[in-house]
Amino acid sequence: MNFVITFSFVFILFNTLQALEIGQPDVNLRNTPVIKTGNLPQFVALTFDDAVNNELWEHLYKDLFTDLTDPYTRCDLKATFFVSHNNTDYAKVNALHNDGHEIALHSFSHGGDQQDSEELVRNFRMGRWMLEISQNVKNMVEHGFLPKDTNFGWRAPFLFTAGDESFSALNRSNIMYDSSLSFYEKSWPYRLANVDKTQSCLIKPCPSRPDYLFYEAPLSVWQGIDGHVCAMMDACSYGSTEEEVFQTLMANFQSFQSEGVPFPISLHGGALNNGRIPHFRQAFEAFLQTLLAMRDVHFVTMRQLVEFVHSPMNSVQYMRMARRTCSIFRPKKPCSARRPACEFKSRNGENSVYLNTCAQRCPSQRSEIRFNYYGQSCCGV
């Protein structure tokens, strides 16, 4: 009895402090963290969605980050990868993680690769969302050797939510933050308890309950050269010359910078590797270099951005902290030296999928096929 009372008292106090720390909800839609003195840093969060496969590794992720260092903090640029399971090479996930990038979740099946997979995802109920999350986590741990106690972030496939149906599944799965909701307004991450803000999310249905425990790291939309907006920046239009692409990227950065709000760069690796935007890769790399050279501009992972909102500090304090922490050596677990090639056949034996795992043994065909790769809607939930 005594324990219960003390516990809830401490809990309430803790919640109140947190609320004060990050500013009361509804003060403004940007949810700007409150600091006593100085300026907030200008953050940039670079995120990639979908499978981390061997092709993207070889042609993009392996080299993209070489020479991308913030001269003011001496921290190397780290990105966030929202990784879905099918076709993911877990040895590469492990390598990205060991390099200090953030590995986050993007569902197990991504709805499959059928024509109607968007429609399928839209109709997932809570049980299916729970399974998509738990299988995604399980594979990161078993096949990518990520620590069991990782606080994962999440982005929904196609940025679809099922409103409270999927957000309840996230809440139950101990997700640290969601990064699926897009908005016209530019905004800092915020606690989902700020329902007023959440209700203006662009892809409906928006979650509406006030008692979610985790954060939203929103996707504020970008604007293409033709004036159309996009939540994933690689869906915008950028013109046809390298100069136009670069200028459009810069114009978007400046519109976030002028409002003092973190700048999300959210795309698919494929867009930088034979994507549809001409000259995108060259312009994009020049763009990253330009941002890195700016004094008050710092790249963070989504998790770091959420942590910052939780305990904000001014730009000077941030630079000091970053310099100290980005060089800390954290031992991580590499893949097993000898790893099997795992092949799974479809029921009719006609197709195979391959799993590249860090583990020494392949999972059983049964456990893999239970959540099937072959496009049918599965699992009976």
Ligand X SMILES: *[C@@H]1O[C@H](CO)[C@@H](O)[C@H](O)[C@H]1NC(C)=O
375 lines the binding site for ligand X (CB under 6 A)? yes
Nearest to 174, CA basis, from 124, 130, 139: 130
Stretch that binds ligand X, among 108-116, 127-135, 197-205, 317-325 (CB under 6 A): 108-116
Collect all residues with Cβ–Cβ distance below 8 Å to 287 and sequence separation of at least 6. 246, 249, 250, 253
Structure tokens at 215: 């954060």
Burial of 202 (0-12, 13-18, 19+ CB in 10 A): middle
Residue keyed to tokens 């092709």: 55
- Residue 287: CB minimum distance to ligand X, A: 31
Q: Which is nearer to ligand X, 207 or 312 (CB)?
A: 207
DSSP 121: H
Of 59 and 209, which has the nearer Cβ to ligand X? 209
> What is d(CA 62, CA 68) in angstroms, rounded to the nearest whole number?
13
* Span 271-330, contacts to ligand X by CB under 6 A: none
Identify which range of 24-32, 208-216, 293-301, 333-341 contacts ligand X by CB under 6 A.
208-216
Q: What is the DSSP letter of 59?
A: I
Please identify, using beta-carbon distances, which residue of 327 and 365 lies nearer to ligand X.
365
Give the one residue of 3, 37, 211, 329 binding ligand X; rule: CB under 6 A.
Answer: 211
CB of 53 to ligand X, least distance (A): 9
Residue 261 has a CB neighbour count (10 Å cut-off) of 21
CB closer to ligand X, 135 vs 220: 135
Among positions 156-175, residues that touch ligand X (CB under 6 A) are 168, 171
What does the block give as tokens for 36?
A: 């006593």
Report, in Å, the least distance between residue 255 CB and ligand X. Answer: 33
Which residues of this chain interact with ligand X, rule CB under 6 A? 86-87, 109, 112-113, 168, 171, 209, 211-213, 353, 373-375
